[in-house]
């Protein structure tokens, strides 16, 4: 089940800070972790999310996601190419896939992605990107081409959210706007309030 906003967070420590504020969907994106650390963090994240009635999306580590009983896995294009999609499906997991151009979108649709992410919508400072910002018009093009939920990611701030939704995004994945904020907890509450106002209308 997708929500109109969710954080993409780097480790269990961040999940422990933000999920109890009322987040209902979160993505764990571990980087450069040992095999033991990957298992520990996914396991602890699943336990936390279950206790908080929050849905966890595991980034990349599909084997561990299956073994530990996750419901969602998110794959980049390189990870998708190396993944055993039939095994992931047989285990009952839903799959989200990152896309950046028409060829990657076709690849995502060919494996019947449960949701598609498009990015970066705006310039992002979190990491070097080989792709230019997609812009809002591309969101509309993607939305017209798919039947599954469309996720916008990359450089999206709270102040830009309304325009991103209006362009066609079903949900916004938020990274930098939370993890670089001086008060991530307050910023998260503001995102949650925006979502509550949207659903009340």
pLDDT at 56 over 60: yes
pLDDT at 132: 83
pLDDT at 130: 65
pLDDT at 33 over 70: yes
Residue partners of 140: CB distance under 8 A and separation at least 6: 167, 168
pLDDT at 90: 98
Residue 83's region, left for phi above 0, alpha for psi from -120 to 50, else beta, is beta
Say how far apart CA 180 and CA 124 lie, in whole Å: 12
Which pLDDT band holds residue 199 (cuts at 50, 70, 90)?
very low
pLDDT at 24 over 80: yes
- Residues with a catalytic annotation lie at 29, 98, 127
pLDDT at 46 over 90: yes
pLDDT at 3: 78
Which pLDDT band holds residue 89 (cuts at 50, 70, 90)?
very high
pLDDT at 126: 59
- What's the CATH superfamily of 5-194? Aldolase class I (3.20.20.70)
Report pLDDT digits (tens) over 91-134: 999 999 999 999 999 999 999 999 999 999 998 765 565 668 99
User: Which structure tokens are listed for 172?
Assistant: 């916004």
| Residue 157 CA from chain centroid, whole number | 15
pTM: 0.94
């Amino acid at each position: 089940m997708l929500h109109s906003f969710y954080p993409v967070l780097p480790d269990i420590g961040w999940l422990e800070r933000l999920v109890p504020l009322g987040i209902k969907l979160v993505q764990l994106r571990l980087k450069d972790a040992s095999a033991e650390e990957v298992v520990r963090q996914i396991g602890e994240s699943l336990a936390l999310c279950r206790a908080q009635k929050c849905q966890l999306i595991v980034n990349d580590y599909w084997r561990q996601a299956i073994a530990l009983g996750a419901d969602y896995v998110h794959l980049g294009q390189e990870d998708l190419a190396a993944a055993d999609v039939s095994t992931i499906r047989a285990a009952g997991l839903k799959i989200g896939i990152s896309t950046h151009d028409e060829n990657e979108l076709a690849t995502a649709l060919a494996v019947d992605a449960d949701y598609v992410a498009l990015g970066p919508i705006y310039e992002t400072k979190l990491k070097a990107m080989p792709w230019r910002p997609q812009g809002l018009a591309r969101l509309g093009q993607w939305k017209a081409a798919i039947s599954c939920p469309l996720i916008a990611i990359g450089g999206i701030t709270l102040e830009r959210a309304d325009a991103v939704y209006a362009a066609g995004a079903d949900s916004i994945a938020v990274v930098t706007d939370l993890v670089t904020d001086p008060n991530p907890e307050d910023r998260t509450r503001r995102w949650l309030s925006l979502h509550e106002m949207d659903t009340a209308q």
